[in-house]
Amino acid sequence: MASVNGNGTSDAIKKDVEYMPIEDVERLERYRPGGYHPITIGELLHGRYRIVHKLGFGAYSTIWMARDQKSEKYVAIKITIADSDLANSQERNVLHRLGNAELKAKSHPASAIIPSILDDFTISGPNGVHQCLVTPVGMMSLAEAKDASSSRLFRLPVARAFSAQLVMAVAYLHSQGVVHADLHPGNILILLPKSMDSLSPEQFYEKHGRPHHEPIICLGQQSLPDGVPAHAVVPIWLGKASEDVSLSEAQIVVTDFGESFTPATTARYHSHTPDMLVPPETYFEPKKSLSFPADIWTLACTLWELIGQRPLFEGFNASADWVIKEHVDTLGTLPLPWWQKWESRSKWFNEDGTRHGATSSRSWEQRFNQSVQEPRQEFNMQPMGDAERTAFLTMLRDMLAFVPEKRPAAGLIMEYEWMQQWALPELNRMKQNMS
């Protein structure tokens, strides 16, 4: 399962306790009052969940794989830092809201793409009281699958099935009044195949290996403080390279609702998506609250990345001006009021929107060929045919309208030719392969 994202640091981290660094595990300094809960492999939580392995961690939680003794299935348990009222509470509230909505809309085809809260309980420990959310297990995120690959490409049928599910999920969220607000490949998980549930923990270890423990050593003193585990557990890797994901394995869930909000009751003026996915209205209409169209922009960027090798807009530690430059290079000149407001436009562009000097822009067509067609041919993978390419780019151009109100609603995206002729039929084939 993908690690929960979070770059925040706790103000309460104790500065006078230091530990021998251990790679690929959570910040050990966060095992303190108000911080992480110490967990040991084999421990039984809530009288039914036997801890089998670690799945990941973030600034506000650790995530564990457990065997549900009651259902005899594997589950993920997200254990928050003590008394947390931060992003995890927002996520819990949103998922409960969607869970209740799901009872009213069981027939909605996208309800399965939103993670179900299978159970919700608290545990008390040496560091405080911790909220625990039980959900299905994710095998890996789409970003992790690409990172594990030399080609960084999904096979086209798999990418289409992913895309269909993602559009359906956003349409469902929006129909329930919720903006996800942090859509990107790192927050989309491929579910663990149901066949895994037939494995006992011992059989699971035989297939995937036993947990790797590293002793925790406290520098400058002999004994560990209370509330610190004796060993750190390195998270398991259950995934595979993107090109090895089969159509029958292409079932996803959208995760990480810590940034989600309801525009009807909450004003949101800042986007916390990765820099290159921030919608342009954030820069040019800072006093106007974001709403559903912001998700449509990031959805389009994410669909591009599922089909292609590289992101649509690119930059390292990019400034806001660089992001806007990428938008103009790719999509053309900004609306006139925005264009006139953008003071840095003269760094790259003439007043008519053309590049000045010897520099040239990478056009929409160039980016598609460089990210989709050429890499697919290089790795002997199926490129898009002309008809599909036209339909796909037509849909994305509409979704990437600069003016938010001109972007199609998520429900309308379902009706686009590419969805109807390529993405949804592939999703149906995926479901047939799974049955």
Contact 49, 259 (CB under 8 A): no
Same domain, yes or no: 223 and 369: no
Same domain, yes or no: 213 and 248: no
pLDDT of residue 9: 41
Q: Last residue of some domain: 237, 261, 295?
A: 237
Annotated binding site: which residue ranges? 78
The beta-strand segments (E) located in 239-382 are: 252-254
pLDDT of residue 41: 97
Q: Which residues contact 5 (CB under 8 A, 6 or more apart)?
A: 58, 182, 186, 187, 256
Same domain, yes or no: 182 and 291: yes
Annotated binding site for ATP: which residue ranges? 78
Same domain, yes or no: 52 and 169: no
Q: How many other CB atoms sit within 10 Å of the CB of residue 192?
A: 24
Same domain, yes or no: 282 and 326: yes
CA–CA dist 71, 379 (Å, integer): 42
- 50, part of any domain: yes
In CATH, what number is assigned to the domain containing residue 208?
3.30.200.20
- 1, part of any domain: no
Q: Which residue has the tokens 């992790």?
A: 144
Q: CA 302 from chain center: how many Å?
A: 10
Q: Which residues contact 203 (CB under 8 A, 6 or more apart)?
A: none
Contact 308, 372 (CB under 8 A): yes
* Predicted TM-score of the model (pTM): 0.87
Same domain, yes or no: 37 and 167: no
Domain total of the chain: 2
Same domain, yes or no: 183 and 227: no
Per-block mean pLDDT, blocks of 10 residues, the chain (435 long): 40 66 94 96 97 92 96 95 66 77 61 85 95 92 96 98 97 94 94 93 96 93 89 95 96 90 93 93 96 98 97 93 95 96 94 81 91 97 96 98 98 97 97 79
Same domain, yes or no: 221 and 363: no
Long-range contact pairs involving 153-156 (C-beta distance under 8 Å, separation at least 24):
153/242, 153/243, 153/308, 153/309, 153/375, 153/376, 153/379, 153/381, 154/242, 154/243, 154/245, 154/306, 154/307, 155/243, 155/245, 155/247, 155/381, 155/382, 156/307, 156/376, 156/381, 156/382, 156/383, 156/384
Same domain, yes or no: 123 and 79: yes
Same domain, yes or no: 128 and 266: no
- 10, part of any domain: no
In CATH, what number is assigned to the domain containing residue 402?
1.10.510.10
Range(s) of the domain holding residue 67? 16-136+193-237
3-state secondary structure of 109: coil
Same domain, yes or no: 201 and 331: no
Q: CA 233 from chain center: how many Å?
A: 23
Q: Which residues contact 249 (CB under 8 A, 6 or more apart)?
A: 139, 190, 193
Q: Last residue of some domain: 203, 237, 271?
A: 237
Same domain, yes or no: 108 and 245: no
pLDDT of residue 85: 60
- 204, part of any domain: yes
